[in-house]
Structure 1
Amino acid sequence: MERPTASDYGANYGTVNPVYGIPAPAIAAAPATSMHGPSAPPANMFDTVPGYEGTVAGGGGGYLPPPMPSVPMPVPEQAPSPPDWHIPSISEDRARQAFATYVSSKCCYSSAPVREGVITNMESFNTYRPVDAGVQPAPGPWQIAVQPPAFFQEHKQTIKVPYTSSIKNCHVCQGKGKNPCTTCAGAGNRVCTLCNGSGYRQSDERCVNCNGRGRKNCSSCSGSGSCQCDTCRGKGKLLVFINLNVKWSIEKDEFVAQDSSGLRVEKLEEVSGKELFKDAQNMVYPVRGFPDVSVAQASERFVRDHQVKNAQTSRILQQRQTIELIPITKVNYMWKGKPYVYYVYGNEFKVKAVDYPDQCCCSVM
């Protein structure tokens, strides 16, 4: 008897650079390791979302047991009409006003281009990011609709939980968008390798590599002393949300009725049998009236134990119960006046000979 279960639901906190709009599946673990700070975001970086208490921030997951079964929600008769996707754009006056404010903040900029410039064209390049935390309560982990795979197939899926997204300062660069350069330790320059910092190559000949300075601008940071933060890609912000890890698994139990033939039970795993009974539904019933009482008892035990073992930790989607007849024939024969035995078993007619009487031994030295 086997059945897939929707189990091991765990919630991870994902982070992704919001500048790229709606993310593909968010990374379930922390961002790429940086040399400038901790590899995992601190726990206080994440908001508390009702229904997800106790899950692990920054990846790793946490188990969330299913709620008690309830009556399914009715399906709406008609889908709501889509909203009017009107995307606003700024006017020329607003663009010119913003330009004037920018120029006035620069002491060396003349205001003539603002006054005399003529706007010839305006193009909108809007981008979008799903910041939805607080818009409405996030659905519980067992309320999120997930398309299951075909029955009796194992599968894993990661889903971004709706209404858990928010923008936070990058924990690696503290929201600055850059970190001290690791090549020059933030100095912006390094000792010249040709003159070893002296500024001269031979006697009084000035070093042409560093122009006699003894140091050269760092090539990694172009002399600025800092580099773009790899975690937030220089934006200083991260989109933080919860990832839900969904796992469908198969739990299988087998029972082999007592065989008095003498053939070892493990041999039966090598062959197939004839299917006598098969039942698959949301919840199967124990087999009744089977000729072998031990099989009926095993069926009743499996149904009971599976329900007790899995109902508290997962949702049972489908169960399947199968009874197979494996043919076993014990053949007794005589050879040179002595009795021997061999077995023929399975649909493949495999043979197991016990103490085969005529054997030779081959060895290589």
Structure 2
Amino acid sequence: MEPQQTQPYYGASGDLPMVSVGQTVPPANMLDKLAGYESIDAGGEERYLPPPVQPPYNAEGGQPQPNQQWSIPSISEDAARRALIKYAAEHVTYSKRPAEEMVFKELIPYNMYRYRLQSFTESRSPEWKSEPYYGQTIESSGFGAPPPPWEVPVDVPEMFEKNKKKVQVPNTASVKGCHRCMAMGKIPCDKCLQTGRVKCMMCDGKGSLFGDDSRCNHCMGNGIESCKSCSGYGQQKCNVCQGKCQLFFYIQLTVKWENNKFEQVIDQQCDFPIQKLNKVTGKELFSDQHFQVYPIMGFPESRINQVSQHGLQEHWTQFGKTSRIIQQRHTVELIPVTKVHFQWKNKENSYFVFGTESKVHAPEYPGKKCTIM
């Protein structure tokens, strides 16, 4: 069935839109000028808009603070030994004898605090979209002015989980004749240059395969064959409107949610590589969650107060002007770290037991076996 003949879109001046050969992005004069969306275009990159004015960052707000002096007792010798035996068992080339036979000299506990801030933000980016018109419902500006980008209703997903949604902005839809094919549904075939014929692929247009007496049966000796791209018609279905002659235009709003993190460990300078704490948990001492949380004050470890102030200021400066901060959450954990000094075969050594999981860091473990290659 031949596609319905539709009049092509004409610009405001009455002229046909300027379209280059092969252009699939609609020309600018095809896009309606809608209040609040005048600066957006079609087929561009995501450009996230400034959010509505948010309350300024407040560093002086009240905040429930922990009032207990927290400390961690050293783990027991039995627990320290079990942790090292398990560590040795996890390494094929390690002997468990040092862990089983060692003599403890001293167990030194350290209090390491981890401050973690999460700011759950939302960003919005509008963009003109077009697709073949299959009879979609047309909610045009005739139904009312489209809502501003930050007033388009979008359900917020689970807090502190990265997500992304694309929604159609109400009252921005319209239908126009396709600019690519001038609303004809067909475009010239670029494979055969509208002739419907191409050089035979079997004989490379020679008409014969091995000589003058060996006629090519594929093209019957003519050296040409019917173009497969257009089935020999010289035209093919428009790749923009998919032969429908019309395009459905609307503004699409991309809404992106991010969980932005700030984290810092208060190092006690005990020669322990603090990056290893990333994979272990501690005991949560403090947690607070609100639209805007306030810096921690009066914490037993004064550096936590400073880190909290810095992290919150950094997030509001970094995200406050480009995204809407929906919710914030910050926590303080106390991570157990114990340095164990021991003696084995008259030699002294040490290792660390850390995290509630009792992980071990023992780079100088004396029970490493030699392997013969």
The two structures share one fold, judged by TM-score above 0.5:
yes
CA contact (8 A) 1:277 1:323 kept: yes
- Aligned CA distance change for structure 1 residues 336 and 163 (closer, same or farther; 3 Å): same
Question: Which residue, 29, 33, 37 being the options, matches 1:48?
Answer: 33
CA contact (8 A) 1:55 1:61 kept: no
Q: Which runs of 4+ in 1 moved over 4 A?
A: 188-198, 208-224
Q: Say what the alpha-carbon RMSD is for the aligned residues.
A: 3.7
Question: Which residue, 147, 156, 167 being the options, matches 2:155?
Answer: 147
- Aligned CA distance change for structure 1 residues 182 and 325 (closer, same or farther; 3 Å): same
Matched residue, 2:144? 136
Matched position secondary structure for 2:266: coil
CA contact (8 A) 1:42 1:58 kept: no
CA distance in 2, matches of 1:354, 1:288: 38
1:209-232 Cα shifts (integer Å, max 9, x gaps):
999999887676566533332321
CA contact (8 A) 1:177 1:236 kept: yes
Q: Superposed, which structure 2 residues align to 1:172-321 within 5 Å?
A: 172-188=180-196, 221=230, 224-321=233-330
CA distance in 1, matches of 2:200, 2:309: 82
- Tell me the TM-score normalized by structure 1: 0.64
CA distance in 2, matches of 1:311, 1:275: 28
Identical residues among aligned pairs (%): 41
CA distance in 2, matches of 1:360, 1:209: 72
Residue 150 of structure 1: CA displacement?
A: 0.7
CA distance in 2, matches of 1:356, 1:291: 35
2:244 is aligned with what amino acid? K
- Name the count of aligned residue pairs: 271
Q: Superposed, which structure 2 residues align to 1:308-347 within 5 Å?
A: 308-347=317-356
CA distance in 1, matches of 2:284, 2:4: 56
CA distance in 2, matches of 1:214, 1:342: 82
CA distance in 2, matches of 1:316, 1:192: 63
2:157 is aligned with what amino acid? P
Residue 172 of structure 1: CA displacement?
A: 1.3
Residue 134 of structure 1: CA displacement?
A: 4.4
2:32 is aligned with what amino acid? D
CA distance in 1, matches of 2:148, 2:24: 29
CA distance in 2, matches of 1:218, 1:252: 57
Task: Determine whether 1:62 maps to 2:70.
Answer: no
Matched residue, 2:211? none
1:10-66 Cα shifts (integer Å, max 9, x gaps):
xxxxxxx999xxxxxxxxxxxxxxx96213222332122222243332242322111
Residue 130 of structure 1: CA displacement?
A: 0.8
CA distance in 1, matches of 2:303, 2:250: 52
CA distance in 2, matches of 1:219, 1:336: 83
Residue 174 of structure 1: CA displacement?
A: 1.8
- Tell me the TM-score normalized by structure 2: 0.62
Could you tell which deviates more after superposition, 261-270 or 133-142? Answer: 133-142
- Aligned CA distance change for structure 1 residues 131 and 174 (closer, same or farther; 3 Å): farther
Matched residue, 2:88? none
CA distance in 2, matches of 1:315, 1:212: 70
- Aligned CA distance change for structure 1 residues 211 and 334 (closer, same or farther; 3 Å): closer
CA distance in 2, matches of 1:327, 1:193: 74
- Aligned CA distance change for structure 1 residues 358 and 212 (closer, same or farther; 3 Å): closer
- Aligned CA distance change for structure 1 residues 339 and 226 (closer, same or farther; 3 Å): closer
Matched residue, 1:98? none
Could you tell which deviates more after superposition, 274-283 or 44-53? Answer: 44-53
Matched residue, 1:203? none
Name the structure where strand makes up a greater proportion of residues.
2
CA distance in 1, matches of 2:142, 2:315: 40
Question: Which residue, 355, 358, 362 being the options, matches 1:353?
Answer: 362
Matched residue, 1:101? none
1:116-153 Cα shifts (integer Å, max 9, x gaps):
xxxxxxxxxxx663150344222111111111111110
Residue 69 of structure 1: CA displacement?
A: 4.0
2:36 is aligned with what amino acid? G
Matched residue, 1:6? none
Residue 317 of structure 1: CA displacement?
A: 1.0
- Aligned CA distance change for structure 1 residues 18 and 336 (closer, same or farther; 3 Å): farther
1:172-212 Cα shifts (integer Å, max 9, x gaps):
112222112345432356689999899xxxxxxxxx99999
- Aligned CA distance change for structure 1 residues 55 and 363 (closer, same or farther; 3 Å): farther
CA contact (8 A) 1:155 1:249 kept: yes
- Aligned CA distance change for structure 1 residues 283 and 190 (closer, same or farther; 3 Å): closer
CA distance in 1, matches of 2:162, 2:4: 33
1:272 is aligned with what amino acid? T
Matched residue, 1:9? none
Matched residue, 2:94? none
CA distance in 1, matches of 2:235, 2:199: 17
CA distance in 1, matches of 2:231, 2:360: 77
1:277 is aligned with what amino acid? F
